[in-house]
């Protein structure tokens, strides 16, 4: 199957009587052709009351960093819907995204915030800072 765009995928799923879940939307957000398209997917998730997974939060972080919306990316980790058990992983995704887009000083700030409360970032995040 050739990826013809996220909205086409959603239409095909609807025809097949398949309901997209958070993982479907996280994939679509990650592969969105623009920030506007990604935000539409995110709003649709919220409108449909689909429970947000850690992958959705990570996808939103990645797309915001990709389109240089750093303040919005940093706000994602403050979302009250993030389960505590996933917070370090999601903050680590922010570190990785920032570092991989040349924003190493901002990535180190998040790293320091995590360390100050006694937690340890994910190994991938630490490697991205090297």
Total structural domains within the chain:
1
| Residue 2, pLDDT score | 45
pLDDT tens, position by position, 57-69: 999 999 999 999 9
pLDDT tens, position by position, 38-93: 999 999 999 999 999 999 999 999 999 999 999 999 999 999 999 999 999 999 99
Q: How far apart are the first and last CA of the chain?
A: 38
Structural domain range at position 82: 6-128
The answer, yes or no, to whether residue 14 has pLDDT greater than 60, is yes
The answer, yes or no, to whether residue 3 has pLDDT greater than 70, is no
| Residue 124, pLDDT score | 96
Question: Tell me, what CATH number does 22's domain have?
Answer: 1.25.40
Those residues whose C-beta lies under 8 Å from the C-beta of residue 32, and which sit 6 or more positions away, are 6, 38, 41, 63
Any domain includes 50: yes
């Amino acid at each position: 199957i050739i990826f013809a765009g996220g909205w086409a995928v959603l239409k095909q799923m609807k025809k097949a009587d398949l309901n997209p879940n958070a993982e479907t939307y996280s994939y679509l957000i990650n592969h969105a052709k623009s920030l506007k398209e990604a935000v539409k997917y995110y709003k649709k998730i919220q409108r449909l009351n689909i429970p947000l997974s850690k992958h959705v939060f990570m996808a939103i972080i990645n797309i915001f960093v990709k389109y240089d919306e750093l303040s919005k990316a940093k706000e994602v980790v403050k979302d009250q819907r993030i389960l505590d058990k996933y917070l370090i992983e999601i903050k680590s995704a922010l570190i990785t995204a920032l570092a991989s887009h040349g924003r190493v000083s901002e990535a180190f700030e998040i790293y320091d915030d995590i360390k100050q409360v006694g937690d340890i970032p994910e190994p991938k995040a630490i490697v991205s800072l090297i």
